[in-house]
Amino acid sequence: MQAGRKVQCCIVGGGPAGMMLGYLLGRAGIETLVLEKHADFFRDFRGDTVHPSTLQVMDELGLIDDFLKLPHDKLQRLEGYFGGTALRIADIGRSGAKHPFIAFMPQWDFLNFLRDKGQRYPQLKVLMSTEATDLLWSDGAVVGVKAQDTEGAIEIKADLVVACDGRHSVVRPSAKLDVEEIGAPMDVLWFRVGKGVETESVFARIEAGKMMVTLDRGSYWQCAYVIAKGQYDAVKARGIEAFRADVMDLAPILKSGIGDVKGWEDVKLLTVAINRLKRWTRPGLLCIGDAAHAMSPVGGVGVNLAVQDAVATANLLADKLMKGRPSEDDLDAVRQRREFPTRVTQAMQVIVQNNIISLALKPGTQPIKPPMFARIINAIPWLQGLTARFLAVGIRPEHVQSPTSTPG
């Protein structure tokens, strides 16, 4: 066992929630450790969608100019093919957002950016290759974290532990926090296909029994092929040739690059979950981001809700942490603020799942008809601004109000 450490806040997990919260608390002058189990942030096909709500936060932090210098693709209009009919369902240009586009950027660029910018705050330390293994308890309260780094076991004491360790959180079962499963009818297969000069704004493609989303990433297509829940083994059993044929059938534009999908190792399964914690806290412990509520990929909101949780946490708790150990009521104020946007967003995802995705995945040969609400939105441009606002800015957007210390 290595010598222990003591900090004001220990954050478990260096994803969007953990890195943003670390940045904000370091900026406020709070001694903060972020533990990330991987040696780097490089993981393919994690959430790459930086929405206007997150761009607004970067703006409020004075980081937006440098951030937008990182390579990214912009998406402003969300369109889809419903059984051959093209419809526009959201126009972010009409959303009223200051930065009215979704920036597609590899998540590792986003996280590396936050880590690099955070280095100006001496109170913030990010420990890579450091995995939290359990919580430290005293008199029924969480007082720190047990972790493992490259040199062995380590104990970190903290006034507050924040679990940002994602949908497979080890912290929440350690804290015996119950998860309410909402369920999802689908899983998603992610893959990349090489792209020539062709370009297409179409985003979702829905035909009888099939659904796919294609994202134009400049030099390649990022593709999300939607399958019925638990059917991955059945899809695999039909063989990679049959899978490639299904993909080309749905999106002929991918024909020239489909050879990039050589085998199943080029296809990544996302097991879709929608769930949320009933209680986000124990004394000394708070869960946020996917650790508190896993989101469906519908709308690409997971990263952005995680960032919003982090901003709310810093706004509500930075001053309390300056003074010592926040009470559980202080911590629960974060749930009270963020549970409503989480529930409303998950409810909308369930509506899309039940009314579009389940329908699309039903085996059948009848051509898919666009749902009435999609036709109405397509016909009325200001409604496209409304759907875009919900998606891009979200319910109850957070603004940075946490204090700032002088950079070292």
Residues making contact with ligand FAD (CB under 6 A): 12-18, 35-38, 45-49, 131-132, 164-166, 170, 190, 268, 270, 289-291, 295, 297, 300-304, 306
Which ranges of 251-367 would DSSP assign to H, the alpha helix?
A: 302-323, 328-352, 358-361
Dist. CA 237–CA 102, nearest whole Å: 36
Minimum distance of ligand FAD from residue 367's CB (angstroms): 28
Dist. CA 221–CA 324, nearest whole Å: 49
In this structure, the number of other CB atoms found within 10 A of the CB of residue 86 comes to 13
Q: Is 112 exposed, middle or buried (0-12, 13-18, 19+ CB in 10 A)?
A: middle
Contact 211, 204 (CB under 8 A): yes
DSSP state of 253: G
Structure tokens at 84: 């051959």
Minimum CB distance to ligand FAD smaller for 22 or for 370 = 22
Minimum CB distance to ligand FAD smaller for 133 or for 256 = 133
Minimum distance of ligand FAD from residue 46's CB (angstroms): 4
Minimum distance of ligand FAD from residue 239's CB (angstroms): 23
Minimum distance of ligand FAD from residue 291's CB (angstroms): 6
Q: At a CB cut-off of 8 Å and minimum separation 6, what does 253 contact?
A: 198, 200, 214, 221
DSSP state of 224: E
Structure tokens at 7: 């900090």
Give the three-class secondary structure for 46.
coil
Q: Which residue, 44, 33, 70, 77, is CA-closest to 55?
A: 70
Tokens 């093209």, located at residue: 86
Give the three-class secondary structure for 403.
coil
Minimum CB distance to ligand FAD smaller for 153 or for 322 = 153
Minimum distance of ligand FAD from residue 172's CB (angstroms): 11
Minimum distance of ligand FAD from residue 15's CB (angstroms): 2
Minimum distance of ligand FAD from residue 230's CB (angstroms): 17
Minimum CB distance to ligand FAD smaller for 187 or for 368 = 187
Minimum distance of ligand FAD from residue 125's CB (angstroms): 14
Largest CA distance in the chain: 66
Minimum CB distance to ligand FAD smaller for 6 or for 167 = 167
Q: What angle do CA 149, 151, 155 make, to 5 degrees?
A: 55
Minimum CB distance to ligand FAD smaller for 306 or for 368 = 306
Minimum CB distance to ligand FAD smaller for 45 or for 243 = 45
Minimum CB distance to ligand FAD smaller for 124 or for 164 = 164
Roughly how many angstroms between the first and final C-alpha of the chain, as a whole number? 32
